[in-house]
């Protein structure tokens, strides 16, 4: 039985009968701990439809509910809040009903419509870095949330595999590589190529300084440095499909992709479809012609094409250069249309991109809406803030950017150091320990990043994230492992595999009731998190559930309970808590260890 659904339907009926008002929605929330009650009906929003004193309205609704629903034991009204005390039997009915639900909290996919979620989208001239970590974790988790809310989802990325920055690493390898490969040097392909991007920058700066020393202005030197001219020529040859340059480009990009794939596997993220800028950068010109014919765009005297968004509070934006070449906006317009052609069931897209691109996406979405595409109203920019590290921590060799791989290694190391210091994992083999350190370290990283609202900037401290107390991944993992231990001991003592339904007559301890109330909120939390594109809502829900379970565990005996029915109920309740923890953490991409 869905207690909240029953209440919403009945409150609407009561208001219709007593006040002749048709409520579109009824707002429910858990009763605050300093008041008596389980579920609170918020009266204030009803005042738009029902005239009168909120206390009098709440009292009238409470009296009607008590007379009509056996499960309402009593009620009280505090200002505009109707606090209802629900009978234990109703919560037991709900708890028993979970046996028949296969994927509790998740909705099945019942629609043909799909959403595409874009994330990662790296450049192929260097490894993934700390910013990409937040991007990947957010994008992957949002995709999983949307799936859990009943939507069909495609995960994608657009790989920035062309341009002058790619040619810089290609040229540097041609000049300084001596035929070396990632295999010959024992280096991941993305790091290997990234080293040559750094080598180009070093050589370029030396040339600029030499030119300045010879009396050339710095501005001129920065434009005319020979190595930069060579890179620009290489780009021109690439665009002209020069066989030698294109062959080198393919070889070096393949090295990078091999490296990226290892990092993605370590992070636990995946993709259904990849797009490459080398194949999309010419897209969009047809869209420009269409927009010109519709009067959405206008052409300036120099031949460039623009859109005027001043009425929308923005400004004029170029969409095609005077020489007919694309800008990023042209490409993004073309890519969006290409995706809908490739996947005709797409009715919306989510772009996981840092908040420095907020303006770009406002413009992109507005243009697509003005062009009249039906799906343009369902485009979302999942904007997120930067990730900072405490000064001096995790500095890369260049001192500015932290490689994703280095961060993952550091997290495993930190998990090991803290676990050893706390004396955990005794009796494990070295292989088991290493596997567990990785699960703990990666869980700590993912949870620390995902528990924060995406829009907020994060100060990430590896040591804080691996704390086994507080709002952290390891604290949740440890609680889950504790419940799994209870389950094993229960079975070892001859506990039944399938625990029967709990009798409606059994009285619930306040801690048992509180756990069931939180469990009941899981489906709604998943749906709200999907609607808001916010994994933080699930992360913090799981933390509240885990806190409440630990309070329950400390105050009540489980396996030591003498009453057989109560003992079995508490084991089953613990098992359900573990299931919800695992389901919620899976939405964050976090593994749960059976032992810790």
**Where does the pLDDT of residue 166 fall: very low under 50, low under 70, confident under 90, or very high at 90 and above?**
very high
Backbone angles phi, psi at 427, to 5 degrees: 90, 5
pLDDT above 50 for 394: no
**Where does the pLDDT of residue 402 fall: very low under 50, low under 70, confident under 90, or very high at 90 and above?**
confident
Rounded average pLDDT over 574-581: 98
Query: Under a CB-based contact definition with an 8 Å cutoff, are residues 580 and 519 in contact?
Result: yes
Q: In the chain, count of helices (H) and strands (E)? A: 22, 14
pLDDT at residue 392 in the model:
52
pLDDT at residue 549 in the model:
98
Rounded average pLDDT over 303-332: 94
pLDDT at residue 493 in the model:
86
Backbone angles phi, psi at 591, to 5 degrees: -80, 150
pLDDT at residue 389 in the model:
79
pLDDT at residue 282 in the model:
87
- Annotate 529-547 with DSSP letters as a single string: HHHTT-HHHHHHHHHHHHH
pLDDT in tens, 169-228: 999 999 999 999 999 999 999 999 999 999 999 999 999 999 999 999 999 999 999 999
Query: Under a CB-based contact definition with an 8 Å cutoff, are residues 8 and 28 in contact?
Result: yes
Helix axes 130-148, 404-422, angle to 10 degrees: 80
**Where does the pLDDT of residue 397 fall: very low under 50, low under 70, confident under 90, or very high at 90 and above?**
very low
Sheet holding 379-384, edge to edge: 273-276, 152-159, 114-118, 346-354, 379-384
Rounded average pLDDT over 443-463: 93
Domains located in the chain, CATH noted: 3-86 (3.30.1360.70), 163-270 (no CATH), 404-587 (1.10.730.10)
pLDDT at residue 423 in the model:
74
pLDDT in tens, 233-249: 999 999 999 999 999 99
Rounded average pLDDT over 412-435: 85
Query: What gap in Å lies between CA 420 and CA 409, rounded to an integer?
Result: 17
Rounded average pLDDT over 311-327: 93
* Burial state string for 467-484 with b = 16 or more CB within 10 A and e = fewer than 16: bbeebbbbbbbbbbbbbb
**Where does the pLDDT of residue 564 fall: very low under 50, low under 70, confident under 90, or very high at 90 and above?**
very high
pLDDT above 90 for 155: yes
pLDDT above 70 for 482: yes
pLDDT at residue 396 in the model:
41
Backbone Cα Rg of the chain? 29
Query: Under a CB-based contact definition with an 8 Å cutoff, are residues 582 and 592 in contact?
Result: yes
pLDDT at residue 12 in the model:
97
**Where does the pLDDT of residue 343 fall: very low under 50, low under 70, confident under 90, or very high at 90 and above?**
very high
pLDDT at residue 419 in the model:
84
pLDDT at residue 428 in the model:
82
Query: Under a CB-based contact definition with an 8 Å cutoff, are residues 52 and 21 in contact?
Result: no
Q: Which pair of structure tokens corresponds to residue 228?
A: 């930069």
For the beta carbon of residue 513, count every other beta carbon within 10 angstroms: 17
**Where does the pLDDT of residue 400 fall: very low under 50, low under 70, confident under 90, or very high at 90 and above?**
low
| pLDDT > 90: percent of the chain | 87
pLDDT above 60 for 572: yes
pLDDT at residue 496 in the model:
72
């Amino acid at each position: 039985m869905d207690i909240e659904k029953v209440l919403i339907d009945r409150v609407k009926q009561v208001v219709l009968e007593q006040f002749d008002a048709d409520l579109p929605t009824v707002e429910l929330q858990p009763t605050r701990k300093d008041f008596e009650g389980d579920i609170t009906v918020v009266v204030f929003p009803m005042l738009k439809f029902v005239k009168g004193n909120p206390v009098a309205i709440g009292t009238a609704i409470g009296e009607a509910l008590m007379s009509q629903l056996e499960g309402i034991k009593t009620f009280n009204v505090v200002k505009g809040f109707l606090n209802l005390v629900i009978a234990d039997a109703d919560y037991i009915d709900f708890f028993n009903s979970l046996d028949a639900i296969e994927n509790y909290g998740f909705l099945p996919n019942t629609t043909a419509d799909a959403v595409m979620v874009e994330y990662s989208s790296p450049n192929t001239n260097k490894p993934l870095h700390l910013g990409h970590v937040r991007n990947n974790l957010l994008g992957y988790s949002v995709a999983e949330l949307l799936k859990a809310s009943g939507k069909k989802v495609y995960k994608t990325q657009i790989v920035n595999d062309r341009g002058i920055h790619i040619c810089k690493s290609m040229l540097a390898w041609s000049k300084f590589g001596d035929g070396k490969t990632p295999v010959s040097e024992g280096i991941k392909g993305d790091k290997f190529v990234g080293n040559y991007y750094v080598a180009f920058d070093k050589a370029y700066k030396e040339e600029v300084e030499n030119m300045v020393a010879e009396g050339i202005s710095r501005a001129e030197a920065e434009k005319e440095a020979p190595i930069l001219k060579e890179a620009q020529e290489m780009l021109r040859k690439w665009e002209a499909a020069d066989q030698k340059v294109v062959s080198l480009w393919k070889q070096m990009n393949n090295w990078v992709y091999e490296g990226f794939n290892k990092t993605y596997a370590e992070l636990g993220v995946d993709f259904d479809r990849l797009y490459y800028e080398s194949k999309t950068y010419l897209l969009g010109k047809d869209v420009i012609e269409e927009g010109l014919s519709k009067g959405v765009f206008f052409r300036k005297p120099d031949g460039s094409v623009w859109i005027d968004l001043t009425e929308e509070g923005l400004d004029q934006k170029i969409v095609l250069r005077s020489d007919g070449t694309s800008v990023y906006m042209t490409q993004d317009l073309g890519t969006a249309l290409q995706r809908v052609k490739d996947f005709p069931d797409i009715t919306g897209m989510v772009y996981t991109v840092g908040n420095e691109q907020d303006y770009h996406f406002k413009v992109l979405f507005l243009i697509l809406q003005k062009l009249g595409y039906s799906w343009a109203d369902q485009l979302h920019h999942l904007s997120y803030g930067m990730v900072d590290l405490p000064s001096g921590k995790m500095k890369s060799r260049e001192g500015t950017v932290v490689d994703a791989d280095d961060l993952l290694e550091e997290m495993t190391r930190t998990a090991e150091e803290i676990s050893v210091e706390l004396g955990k994992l005794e009796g494990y083999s070295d292989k088991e320990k290493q596997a567990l350190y990785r699960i703990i370290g990666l869980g700590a990283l993912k949870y620390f990043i995902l528990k924060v609202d995406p829009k907020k900037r994060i100060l990430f401290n590896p040591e804080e994230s691996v704390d086994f107390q507080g709002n952290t991944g390891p604290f949740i993992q440890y609680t889950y492992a504790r419940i799994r231990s209870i389950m094993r001991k229960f079975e070892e003592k001859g506990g039944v595999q399938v625990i029967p339904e709990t009798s409606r007559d059994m009285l619930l301890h306040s801690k048992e009731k509180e756990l069931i109330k939180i469990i009941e909120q899981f489906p709604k939390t998943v749906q709200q998190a999907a609607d808001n594109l916010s994994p933080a809502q699930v992360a913090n829900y799981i933390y509240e559930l885990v806190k409440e379970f630990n309070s329950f565990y400390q105050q009540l005996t489980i396996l030591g309970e003498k009453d057989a029915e109560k003992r079995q109920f508490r084991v089953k309740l613990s098992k359900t808590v573990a299931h919800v923890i695992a389901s919620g953490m899976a939405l964050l991409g976090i593994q749960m260890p059976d032992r810790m």
